[in-house]
Amino acid sequence: MTTSVGLLRIMTMILAIEISLLAVSCTSSSSTTRFLVDQPHRTVGMEITYREGSPEYSHPRNLSSGVLEQALSSIEVQPSSLLDRIAGASSHAQEAFTKEQREFLASQLSIAFQKATPLETVTFHWATSRGNGIWEITSGGLYLQENHLHLMLPNYRHTVSGKPQSQKPRNQPLAQLGEPLHSLKVIAPARQLKYGMLTELWAPQTPHFVFAINELTNAPLPSGKQQAESSTQPLNSGKSIKQRLKRLEKLRQEGLLSDKEYQDKRKGILNEL
């Protein structure tokens, strides 16, 4: 009996030390992020996340937007509670990212991977207004190890109040806001990493997905999804210009672009004619 009590005390002390070390590392480490896209409601950048002794990442590297869109298209969200369904949510799994999110993130993340060092994780942050000062925050990070793409989603549609510019994930996209609110899963052949029991005791799980690059390259988009425009299509084609102007107008209407940003970007597109 004495031996059991002593063993329990030792295990409790070890767990307390690990929790303390985790808290110190989370609070004392200041993220170093350089932004590729820095807009009020969305960001894409590169954050130094290297820890001594960890393997370096396999970038900078050319990774097509098509491959990245395929990865984002492979993640589905399942309503996690009866309350979701009472509120009108479908009981079936749905795409985790909208078409607009997939296209924007895929194109910008592709550029970010070309600029990221072997010590940096490519990060993103997306805020969606729900009215009355309520926002849904989605943020995460990606990195390459050899021929495998890793995607972490510490926050998925996490509800917050206040201005999105002041929210922590904008500057620290890999920091969790709290317990995951939605159940995410990935379509085969991609896989989701699992966590051990001790990890679950001191911190919420961060959904972590792994994709084999060669499988993403060869796989078609899931049924019902259309391939994004080919990156080889001339930017000055009439169709491309028209679509980009429509998309720009939609972003302004949704409050994702200020009037000045809208005018500047519209002028840039028209200058390509």
DSSP string, 39-76: ETTEEEEEEE---TTSPPP--S----HHHHHHHHHTEE
Does 50 lie in the same domain as 21?
no
Does 219 lie in the same domain as 182?
yes
Task: Please give the residue range of the domain that contains residue 6.
Answer: 1-30
- Average model confidence (pLDDT) across the chain: 76
Average pLDDT over residues 104-128: 94
161 has pLDDT over 90: no
Does 216 lie in the same domain as 171?
yes
Is the pTM for the entire model greater than 0.85?
A: no
Top-confidence residue, 182 or 19: 182
Does 170 lie in the same domain as 117?
yes
Does 105 lie in the same domain as 186?
yes
Domains of the chain: total: 3
pLDDT digits (tens, 9 = 90+) for 124-155: 999 998 888 889 999 999 999 989 999 999 99
| Residue 72 CB neighbour total at 10 angstroms | 20
Does 103 lie in the same domain as 167?
yes
Q: Work out the pLDDT band at 47, boundaries 50, 70, 90.
A: very high
Task: Output the pLDDT for position 68.
Answer: 95
pLDDT digits (tens, 9 = 90+) for 178-203: 887 788 988 877 898 876 544 444 55
Does 147 lie in the same domain as 212?
yes
Task: Output the pLDDT for position 8.
Answer: 57
For helices 65-73 and 99-115, what crossing angle results, to 10°?
Answer: 130
Average pLDDT over residues 113-121: 94
Does 244 lie in the same domain as 162?
no
Q: Are 137 and 125 in contact (CB under 8 A)?
A: yes
Q: Work out the pLDDT band at 245, boundaries 50, 70, 90.
A: confident
Does 120 lie in the same domain as 5?
no
Task: Output the pLDDT for position 6.
Answer: 55
